[in-house]
Amino acid sequence: MNDKEDKAKISRRQFLATTGIAGVAGAGVASGLTPYSVWAKSKSDAMKANVEPGELDEYYGIWSGGQSGEIRILGVPSMRELMRIPVFNYDGATGYGLTNESKRILGPDAPLNGDTHHPHLSYKDGRIDGKYIYVNDKANTRVARIRCDIMKTDKILSVPNVQAIHGMRPQKAPYTKYLYANAEFRMPHPNDGRNMDDNKQYFTMFNGIDAEKMEMAFQVIVDGNLDNTDADYSGKYAVSTCYNSEDGFVLADTMRNERDWAVIFNIPRIEAAIKAGKFKTLGDSKVPVLNGRHGSDLTLYVPVPKSPHGINVSPDGKYVVANGKLSPTCTVISWAKVDEWFAGKLKDPRDVVVAEPELGLGPLHTAYDGRGNAYTTLFIDSQIVKWNLADAIRAYKGEKVNYIRQKLDVQYQPGHDHTSMGETKDADGKWLVALCKFSKDRFLGCGPLHPENDQLIDISGDEMKLVHDGPNFAEPHDCELIHRNLIKTKKIWTRDDPYFAETVAIAKKDGINLETDNKIIRNGKKVRVYMTSVAPNFGMTEIRVKQGDEVTITITNLDQIEDVTHGFTLINHGIAMEISPQETSSVTFMANKPGVFWYYCQWFCHALHMEMRGRFMVEPA
């Protein structure tokens, strides 16, 4: 890079730091640090992200799809997108949201949008067990579970009596018994229009979900609101940030206090209180509701500066870091001290704080390398700051040590960051992904809506090195990087899979053998069509029904060969679905229009794929 380019780049960064973005997040907080940057990346650094054709990535990247409502699977380090998993959204390729199998998961009248933020895998003893991915839907107050073996959404739960599930984490130990889910927004109770102006009737709740059944286990009323959450490595605690201790309705009010808090939930005490019957219920809901406000022995409110956002437990199991957002600091809380506090040995809730390092402007989230270092995103500074936990603790005690190891410019405005295996006891400190909210000029223009920029950073050495820019569509808030050995996926379906068990049961009642039969069963105006598919043939090349019939098409793909997926698309009916090898898929719709409508296989499966089609014939009423 020549001098001129260098200057141009630096002035661009300064420009970003001084534009409106800084103003939004409470500018004027000076960090007092002199950041240094690594702009250039050499060709050899970039080659680290290179995965040769035919080679496999070492890590699965589990990405949230933000406002798209989906989950995406990327390979890391190549950052290649491997798969999209529809979760809260409609998906035209797989028919998710159209098929009977997916509708059973989504439930009746489910909205077909979602806002996924936090994908997290299930645990055993603080390690990834490879079973499930859980993810929140902020937009419609839901949580979902995805089966890792088939990479399909498996269950969805609507959380009652709250609004906007944001922070969400599985319990880490001894196993994922509970899923912890923060409802972000306070709302009036009851929310039937009578209390809309009475702030005192507003509250929100921390939610415990039975992670195996995907049913509500408990709700805890809190003061303030709830942003992000994490769980410790002993299984005893969950902890959530609150950016609105002021109970404000508008921005200016939420920024009034110099300190808000992190609230720690004592899970064994919550379980004991439920056992002892110390709860109430709200409205029609049967879920136990406990009081966790100030003064409750179920919670500990730790004051932290200022409007904290991310909350991240260190993989050594000792600490949790609350990220200051409007304060240039992070607050380090010791779990051992939290034990002491609940044992009645400490007086001041701030006694659980063991460090409060000053890191830079707009700290949002922190990740760890398993070697004692933390990596915090600085939204306003557009940097990742690497700092040392032990040194930050020594500095808090008054020692003169520099806990900052490096600051690396990222492009631009990072939200979450995540390290390989960093949310587990097996944190391996190889890779860091910075999920940048703005990409600005990093990619070819695609209109006013820009992609995000997910940057891959090599953290295996002493110095962080940027190796790859990864454009991504709206809006990955968070991801997890999991070693490929921990996730085992099926190559073809097994016929006894619960995903389509209910469809199989209906066929059985109709006396159908799905593996051999091609038949139409009529029951009044309800018509059920059963057919098989083997490349390049559907079991039936014509289906005759009457106008006004409710038609269910059930197709079983008999192919046993990996990757030979068929599809069923019915012209002019808005119907399409995936049928992968050994899968049964079904869809129900009204045959309202008389005439001939072709159906075809929309998944290129065979040299004669174009010929894999048939006529859907509707006789006029």
Min dist CB 307 to ligand K7E, Å, is: 12
* Residue 328 contact, options ligand CUA, ligand K7E, none, Cβ 5-8 Å cut-off depending on partner type: none
Task: Examine residue 566 and tell whether it contacts ligand CUA (CB under 6 A).
Answer: yes
Query: Residue 207's beta-bridge partner residues?
Result: 181, 219
Q: Which one-letter DSSP state was computed for residue 451?
A: P
The span of 385-393, 399-407, 520-528, 599-607 binding ligand CUA (CB under 6 A) equals: 599-607
Cis before 412? omega within 30: yes
Contact residues: ligand K7E, CB under 6 A: 117-118, 166, 228, 309-310, 364-365, 415-416, 477-478
Among 70, 603, 616, 618, binds ligand CUA (CB under 6 A): 603
Contact 85, 93 (CB under 8 A): no
Taking the least distance from each CB to ligand K7E, the nearer of 476 and 614 is: 476
Taking the least distance from each CB to ligand K7E, the nearer of 309 and 407 is: 309
* Residue 159 contact, options ligand CUA, ligand K7E, none, Cβ 5-8 Å cut-off depending on partner type: none
State how far the alpha carbon of 585 is from the alpha carbons of 155, 450, 533, 578, in Å. Answer: 17, 36, 11, 7
Sign for the CA dihedral angle at 391, 395, 401, 404 comes to positive
Residue in this structure with the two tokens 């998710």, named with its chain if needed = 96
Min dist CB 40 to ligand K7E, Å, is: 27
Residue in this structure with the two tokens 């009248």, named with its chain if needed = 109
Taking the least distance from each CB to ligand CUA, the nearer of 598 and 604 is: 604
Residue in this structure with the two tokens 């939200």, named with its chain if needed = 415
The span of 104-112, 160-168, 397-405, 604-612 binding ligand CUA (CB under 6 A) equals: 604-612
Taking the least distance from each CB to ligand CUA, the nearer of 218 and 603 is: 603
Instruction: Give Cα 488 to chain centroid, integer Å.
Output: 20
Nearest to 378 by CA among 387, 390, 369, 389: 387
577's tokens:
């679905």
The span of 100-108, 298-306, 373-381, 605-613 binding ligand CUA (CB under 6 A) equals: 605-613
Task: Examine residue 558 and tell whether it contacts ligand CUA (CB under 6 A).
Answer: no
* Residue 118 contact, options ligand K7E, ligand CUA, none, Cβ 5-8 Å cut-off depending on partner type: ligand K7E
Task: Examine residue 612 and tell whether it contacts ligand CUA (CB under 6 A).
Answer: yes
Taking the least distance from each CB to ligand K7E, the nearer of 166 and 468 is: 166
In 318-421 the beta strands, taken as DSSP E runs, fall at 319-323, 330-334, 353-355, 363-368, 373-378, 383-388, 404-409, 414-419
Element (H, E) at 204: strand 202-210
At residue 201, what are phi and psi to the nearest 5 degrees?
-85, 0
Task: Examine residue 604 and tell whether it contacts ligand CUA (CB under 6 A).
Answer: yes
Residues 521-540 that bind ligand CUA (CB under 6 A): 535-536
Q: In what order do the strands lie in the sheet with 353-355?
A: 311-313, 319-323, 330-334, 353-355
Taking the least distance from each CB to ligand K7E, the nearer of 288 and 363 is: 363
Sign for the CA dihedral angle at 502, 507, 508, 514 comes to negative
Q: Site for ligand CUA (CB under 6 A): how many residues?
A: 9
95 Ramachandran zone, left/alpha/beta (phi>0; psi -120 to 50)? left
C-alpha 555/C-alpha 586 separation (Å) is 6
Task: Examine residue 601 and tell whether it contacts ligand CUA (CB under 6 A).
Answer: yes
The DSSP result for 221-271, as a single string, is: EESS----EEE-SSSSEEEEEES-TT--SSHHHHT--SEEEEEEEEHHHHH
Taking the least distance from each CB to ligand CUA, the nearer of 434 and 612 is: 612
Contact 577, 95 (CB under 8 A): yes
* Residue 367 contact, options ligand K7E, ligand CUA, none, Cβ 5-8 Å cut-off depending on partner type: none
Taking the least distance from each CB to ligand K7E, the nearer of 139 and 150 is: 139
* Residue 612 contact, options ligand CUA, ligand K7E, none, Cβ 5-8 Å cut-off depending on partner type: ligand CUA
Taking the least distance from each CB to ligand CUA, the nearer of 561 and 590 is: 561
Min dist CB 583 to ligand CUA, Å, is: 13
Task: Examine residue 605 and tell whether it contacts ligand CUA (CB under 6 A).
Answer: yes
Indicate the residue type of 593.
K
The span of 230-238, 311-319, 332-340, 602-610 binding ligand CUA (CB under 6 A) equals: 602-610
* Residue 172 contact, options ligand K7E, ligand CUA, none, Cβ 5-8 Å cut-off depending on partner type: none
Taking the least distance from each CB to ligand K7E, the nearer of 118 and 386 is: 118
C-alpha 79/C-alpha 73 separation (Å) is 9
Min dist CB 477 to ligand K7E, Å, is: 4
Min dist CB 110 to ligand K7E, Å, is: 21
3-state SS class at 191: coil
Min dist CB 603 to ligand CUA, Å, is: 5
* Residue 142 contact, options ligand K7E, ligand CUA, none, Cβ 5-8 Å cut-off depending on partner type: none
Contact 329, 258 (CB under 8 A): no
Cis before 86? omega within 30: no
* Residue 430 contact, options ligand CUA, ligand K7E, none, Cβ 5-8 Å cut-off depending on partner type: none
Contact residues: ligand CUA, CB under 6 A: 535-536, 566, 601, 603-605, 609, 612
